[in-house]
Homo-oligomer: A and B are copies of this chain.
Amino acid sequence: MNPTHDPTGASTGGRPIGLAVLGMGNVGTEVVRIFDESADDLRARVGAPLELRGVAVRDLTRARGIAAELLTDDAESLVTRDDVDIVVELMGGIDPARGLIRAALESGKSVVTANKALLAEYTGELATAAADAKVDLYFEAAVAGAIPVIRPLMQSLAGDTVERVAGIVNGTTNFILSAMDETGADYAETLAEAGRLGYAEADPTADVEGYDAAAKAAILASIAFHTRITAADVFREGISSVTAADLVAARKFDCTVKLLSICERIRDADGKQRVSARVYPALIPLSHPLATVNGAFNAVVVEARSAGRLMFYGQGAGGAPTASAVLGDLVMAARNKVHGGRGPLESTYAKLPVAPIDDVTTRYYVSMRVADRPGVLAQIANEFSKRSVSLAAVRQEGAGDDARLIVVTHRAPDRAQSECVAALKDMDAVLMVSSVLRMEGTDD
């Protein structure tokens, strides 16, 4: 029997805890560096020495400042080695990470991972494997980098009823939107600049189209609502259609534009509860706590019935901040290996249905080019009114060929709002609907 895999959870004494790291990108490099630098502190905190048994990389020939005998390209063998107690997965992506984590869990290793894409699809499968093997699966680093959000949601708020989680959890898009707001530059230009500065990847799709934020929304919603939510359950719009003009217009409504990951408990008229998880760029009031979260910073606002509104703020990405979260999980997993016991895995008892975006109550901001003639505003207002969507604000700008109308609605079902927009697009008087964004963070 593998001596590290003791299903009674009894103490393993002062025996060293063996560690395997998969992947040596930014985060992996920082994890190994801090691990070496802080070895004495980590030993004292765990109650046993932590020893690095191996680091799996794709390309053995690239220098990495790690003793050659620790490097391997055989991750599969590494994760099941008898002298490995904890596997830290920092490769990202679904495969081969999924199989490696499963193999590790099934061999009685605890796993620490920052892999949000994987967790957004397969937390159920991985948590079940961890539960069967009576080991830990920790993933604080998967959402919002160094900011503790997983553990507070899962543990500190375990006795509360979370109503809503709204966060800025993607640094790339927040950097781009903040820069557009500051400089007035348009999206394409700012994306290029973000790439030059290292804030956007060569293929920025996962960030700018909201896939990364949606994966994190799925993880947060699953925990907050004790319901298994996957990325496919998350309604998603990216920021690539946000224009410089939108940010200027937002300011006129005392707002800015942020890409939000929103997880919401929806209470239907008949008392039934559902869950909405969604990602889109939205106007939020400048007075909202998320409005001042700029650049590569992240923040998550949690509203719970008893706790009220909580906010967590900090660096959401980068090697060192993410490594901080990974190492916190590592210390906790190692402590459990030494002292027995395990952290909570997943809680999915509530099994709430997912509400489609159509059923969610939202507010819309619609910017359009219109014919500059009398009666247009009345016609447009009529399209909203017919669908029981009331207007909160209307701004007319420009004249002649450049006549524009900006409309902000009150709360109404998203289906009605989007039907209004479709109707506008069919109107002769509306030359072009140039932007449609939602508005969040207001009470009306």
Contacts and interface: CB of A to CB of B under 8 A. Distances in A.
Interface of A: 8-10, 30, 34, 38, 41-42, 44-45, 140, 146-148, 151-152, 155-161, 226, 289, 304-315, 320-321, 323-332, 335-336, 339-342, 344, 347, 349-350
Contact of A324 (B304, B323, B329, B341): B304
A159 B341 contact: no
8 contacts: A30-B306, A34-B160, A34-B306, A45-B347, A148-B151, A157-B324, A159-B328, A289-B313
Nearest to A289: B313
A10 B336 CA distance: 14
A376 to B, nearest CB: 42
Contacts of A158: 45, 327-328, 331-332, 335
A315 B160 CA distance: 14
A146 B309 CA distance: 9
| Residue of A38, A158, A320, A330 contacting most chain B CB atoms (<10 Å) | A158
Nearest to A318: B308
Contacts of A307: 146, 314-315, 320-321, 324-325
A302 to B, nearest CB: 8
Contact of A308 (B157, B315, B326, B336): B315
B313 A308 contact: no
Contact of A45 (B38, B44, B226): B226
Secondary structure at the A interface, as helix, strand, loop or mixed, is: mixed
Contacts of A157: 148, 324, 328
A219 to B, nearest CB: 16
B308 A314 contact: yes
Nearest to A340: B9
Nearest to A335: B344
Given A9-B340, A344-B335, A326 B159 contact: yes
Contact of A312 (B140, B312, B350): B312
A166 B335 CA distance: 28
Contacts of A336: 341
Contact of A342 (B155, B159, B226, B341): B341
Given A44-B349, A340-B340, A313 B310 contact: yes
Nearest to A141: B156
B159 A34 contact: yes
Contact of A339 (B310, B314, B331, B342): B342
Contacts of A34: 159-160, 306
A204 B312 CA distance: 30
A314 B306 contact: no
B155 A350 contact: no
A140 B34 CA distance: 28
B335 A306 contact: no
A51 to B, nearest CB: 15
A323 B156 CA distance: 11
Contacts of A160: 34, 324, 327-328
Top 5 A-B pairs ranked by shortest CB distance?
A: A341-B341, A159-B327, A148-B156, A146-B307, A158-B331
Contacts of A331: 155, 158-159
